Amino acid sequence: MDSVVSSLSLAYLLHLQNIHTKNLKTSHIPLINIPRSDLSLRTEITHALNVTYPTSSTSEGILPALTFMDEIDLKSLIENNKNTTISITDHNRLSPSQEWLAPYITRIIDHHQNEHLYSNVLERIIEPVGSCTSLVVKLWQKNSFCTAELMNEPNLSTLFLTPILIDTVNFNITFDRTKPMDISSRNYLKSISGMTNESMNNLFEELQTAKFSLDRLSSRDLLRKDYKDVIVNGYKLGISSVTWYLQGSKGWLERDGSDQLWNDIESWTKENHLDVGALMTAYEFPLNEGGFQRFLWVWCGNNISKSQCEFILNEIEKNSTLKLTNGISGGWVKHGKFWIQKNITASRKQISPALVDILKSLPSKSKS
Ligand SMILES: [Mn+2]
């Protein structure tokens, strides 16, 4: 959220400065550093865009106009434009796959620990504030033509406010994330957007809800949101972890029905060439509904024989650490089984090694 909005607000600011100085040769592209298809997983961002720009998803809206990392060929862009420079926001060390961009970085605006990297940087603003966007907003505040632009476009100031609200947990002092600059940026944006304390609190609550409500995501998105895989003994094991729940009122099974959910799991299994898949869910129910609960669903791909699959499922069920008890309908769902996991402290750190050990005990799978 902070990364997206700080990048957007910085690129817009630089664009306004260009107009102001009549520099027509340079253009600034805000680059969203994720593939476009991953945006739907960031439910609080899509919510913020929908609230501030209700038409953002339409063909004339903001979303189609944004550039995501999988939509630009940075290598050829840089090769063809020797003057290309890169500004980075909300981080000050490139990820290993982007380290080749280091010579082109001329500007860093960030609130993480300063790693003092990249010698070509001309402007380096790294301060430990709550939200990186607060630092960019400070730059907006410095230029009257920027403030004038925001006054013309008050929804933009609301959008700039959203990461600051999230990152400071609505300026809640018990979380100790708020710095004076977050407050001054908020006050500046608040006065321009015309928001009241009440409407700001409501916006924060909506954003928090959006961030933690996954029930609008498709099953494929839920399965890939937090997914890790490993190859053991020639078998590919993929484990998805989801902060929602399978069984129960308004749960995943109720939403999709077991047939549809199984179809989606099967497609996921094929898409990732899984031999064994697992889905772990964790959810904090209200105390009178059982509090924190975990479910585990393990299944096999088509390459695993029925007897091998039964062996795998029986072995994991016997695992004394996990304390698995059958979910609804005895737990069997097509080529898999689904349990209530009574040991709620066991996470992927326990489940993954348990499944790995079982796969190691099988005859090794020849790579075909
Ligand atoms: Mn940040």
pLDDT digits (tens, 9 = 90+) for 205-242: 999 888 877 888 899 999 998 888 889 999 999 999 99
What's the mean pLDDT in 288-313?
92
pLDDT in the model for residue 275 = 96
Ligand 1 centre to CA of 5 (Å) is 10
Cα-to-centroid distance, 362 and ligand 1 (Å): 45
CA of 151 to the centre of ligand 1 (A): 25
Per-residue pLDDT at 16 exceeds 80 = yes
- Domain boundaries in the chain? 2-212, 219-360
Beta bridge partners of 230: 237
> What's the gap in Å between 167 CA and the centre of ligand 1?
7
The alpha carbon of 90 and the centre of ligand 1 are apart by a number of angstroms equal to 5
Q: How confident is the model at residue 98 (pLDDT cuts 50, 70, 90)?
A: very high
Instruction: Give residue 61 CA to ligand 1 midpoint distance, Å.
Output: 25
Distance, in Å, from the CA atom of 223 to the CA atom of 65, rounded to the nearest integer, reads: 28
Confidence of residue 329 (pLDDT cuts 50, 70, 90): low
What average pLDDT score do residues 103-108 get?
Answer: 97
Share of the chain above pLDDT 70, in %: 99
Res 99: pLDDT? 92
First to last CA, the chain: 42
Q: How far is CA 223 from the centre of its chain?
A: 13
Element (H, E) at 41: none
Share of the chain above pLDDT 90, in %: 71
Task: Classify domain 2-212 at the CATH superfamily level.
Answer: inorganic pyrophosphatase (n-terminal core) (3.90.1640.10)
Instruction: Tell me what the mean pLDDT of segment 282-310 comes to.
Output: 90
pLDDT band at residue 292 under the 50/70/90 scheme: confident
CA 54–ligand 1 middle distance (angstroms): 25
pLDDT for 60 equals 83
Strand, coil or helix: what is 304? coil
CA atoms within 13 A on the CB side of 27: 5
Confidence class for position 72, pLDDT limits 50, 70, 90: very high
Q: How far is the CA of 114 from the centre of ligand 1 (A)?
A: 13
When pLDDT is averaged across residues 127-148 and rounded to a whole number, the result is 96
Nearest residue to 66 via CA among 96, 37, 109: 37
Lowest mean pLDDT among 57-61, 245-249, 318-322, 326-330: 326-330
What per-residue confidence (pLDDT) applies to 367? 56
Mean pLDDT of 157-168: 96
Q: Distance from the CA of 3 to the center of ligand 1, in angstroms?
A: 6
Greater pLDDT, 302 or 366: 302
80/234 Cα distance (integer angstroms) = 44
Mean pLDDT over 131-143 rounds to: 97
Identify whether the C-beta of residue 314 lies closer than 8 Å to the C-beta of residue 307: no
Q: One fold for both 2-212 and 219-360?
A: no
Across the range 69-98, mean pLDDT stands at 93
Q: Is the dihedral of CA 248, 252, 253, 255 positive or negative?
A: positive
- Dist. CA 129 → ligand 1 center (Å): 9
CA of 166 to the centre of ligand 1 (A): 10
Query: How many angstroms separate the alpha carbon of residue 52 from the centre of ligand 1?
Result: 20
Of 154-158, 195-199, 347-351, 364-368, the one with minimum mean pLDDT is 364-368
Rounded distance from Cα 113 to ligand 1 centre (Å): 11
Q: Which CATH number applies to 219-360?
A: 3.10.310.20
Q: Which residues lie near ion ligand 1 (Cβ < 5 Å)?
A: 2, 90, 132
Please state the rounded mean pLDDT for residues 34-49. Answer: 89
